[in-house]
A = this chain, B = another copy of it.
């Protein structure tokens, strides 16, 4: 079923088919935002007072706080602790409508987006379009590795990894063959960026707890956790001395860190890297992401990892009313390097576009003479880099301050709690962490699902 509908200025949907008459103030500019991650949600929230009809489209009904997703994979947090329904976040924002659905196509000529939900299809018209559909794990020509080494972008990915991790300990407990037991207790994390470092450290802590209590056969054995990085150091965004400190912290937790080690193959028995085989039943991919297919929808050229090159005001070079932000955009930073695909950058871009749109709308409505001023270019401000290692250590580089160890970990925790949306989630996550800190118990040590239903 294909429906055409538009939103009037009081936010009610106006179905345009089957003899419905269009009503309401349709001269109100229609801003459509695709994606409710950090970029899209920040943009929608910054438009709360816009005299416009804002539509926020996402294929999930919740905003996910991805920086803590790895703790769902390692059984410390529940999905609902770090996910917040989009409708709830925006329920008091009367100019904004939330639409659940998958983006199928963008018609730049007709100025419409086609969105589908189950068997229903909808066409949403726009005057301004903001594309913030993010990125997903990329295997750069080796898509067959995905089923062996899943990435970590969606809630379902984290639950699959949780299943595999906990299941490996269970199977190691009863398996007869010593080689198979060693293989089950070996875990390889591919990619030494913040996600790889954080998950490797947390798997080491999980293994210590799992093998320290509860089991009978594998009780007292040690797990092997290997972190594989192709480049010369883990945490490439950090200065070498902090990266080295992070590596030492990981090694203290028992993680083997292999730098200068490119992965050449992944299969059910482990990986081949730098010519040698590392046997492991559980692999995890944190080695790279590619942008969502926005370039295809827009029929523009993308860069190597699928990102859409944008102008300095984050709009398409040939279409000033279509913006691309967040992990989907290739934006040059002040130093000429591309703005990194991290939450603070996405939020800055979302806020910038919202302010630009506010000025344009105000200008177009003639409410303000000075509103038509030429927009200043987007200027990325790098706030710093942070990565946690296990449960009691972190490295942190804010430029004016560099820290490692326990104090960095405490700051990391405070910062993440602060940015987590929703008072309830903050309370639950804080309590959960305090509980885990003092008892080493994990709140979500459940094996659910099949362990193979990777989200596509």
Contacts and interface: CB of A to CB of B under 8 A. Distances in A.
A214 B87 contact: yes
A424 B444 contact: no
Interface stretch (A39-47, A168-176, A323-331, A355-363): A168-176
A176 B447 contact: no
A343 to B, nearest CB: 20
Contacts of A80: 78, 443-446
A60 interface: yes
Interface stretch (A96-104, A129-137, A189-197, A295-303): A96-104
A298 to B, nearest CB: 24
A150 to B, nearest CB: 16
Copies in the complex: 2
Interface string A87-123: 1101100000111110000000000000001101010
A1 interface: yes
A117 B155 contact: no
A176 B117 CA distance: 13
The residue among A15, A80, A447 with the most chain B CB atoms within 10 A of its own CB is: A80
A155 B439 CA distance: 26
Interface stretch (A251-259, A365-373, A410-418, A427-435): A427-435
Interface stretch (A4-12, A229-237, A378-386): A4-12
Contacts of A5: 174, 176
Contact of A424 (B1, B91, B101, B443): B443
Contacts of A1: 175-177
Nearest to A453: B453
A13 B88 CA distance: 51
A126 B61 CA distance: 50
B428 A117 contact: no
A167 B85 CA distance: 12
A217 interface: yes
B120 A174 contact: yes
A393 B444 CA distance: 30
A233 to B, nearest CB: 36
A17 B178 CA distance: 12
Contacts of A117: 170-171, 174
Contact of A12 (B61, B62, B217, B432): B217
A275 interface: no
A428 B447 contact: no
Contacts of A428: 428, 431-432, 443
The residue among A97, A159, A176 with the most chain B CB atoms within 10 A of its own CB is: A176
A276 interface: no
Interface in A5-31: 5, 7, 11-13, 15, 17-18
B7 A216 contact: yes
Interface residues of A, number: 66
Majority SS at the chain A contact face: mixed
Given A78-B78, A97-B216, A216-B12, A445 B174 contact: no
A445 B176 contact: no
Contact of A100 (B122, B170, B443): B170
A3 interface: yes
The residue among A87, A177, A215 with the most chain B CB atoms within 10 A of its own CB is: A87
A449 interface: yes
Interface string A153-166: 00110010000001
Nearest to A16: B176
A441 interface: yes
A241 interface: no
B60 A447 contact: yes
Interface in A71-91: 78-81, 83, 85, 87-88, 90-91
A441 B424 contact: yes
B79 A446 contact: yes
Contact of A15 (B17, B81, B176, B214): B176
B176 A446 contact: no
B171 A447 contact: no
20 contacts: A1-B175, A1-B176, A1-B177, A13-B173, A15-B176, A78-B78, A78-B79, A80-B446, A87-B214, A87-B215, A99-B173, A100-B170, A100-B173, A101-B174, A120-B174, A156-B449, A424-B435, A424-B443, A428-B431, A428-B432
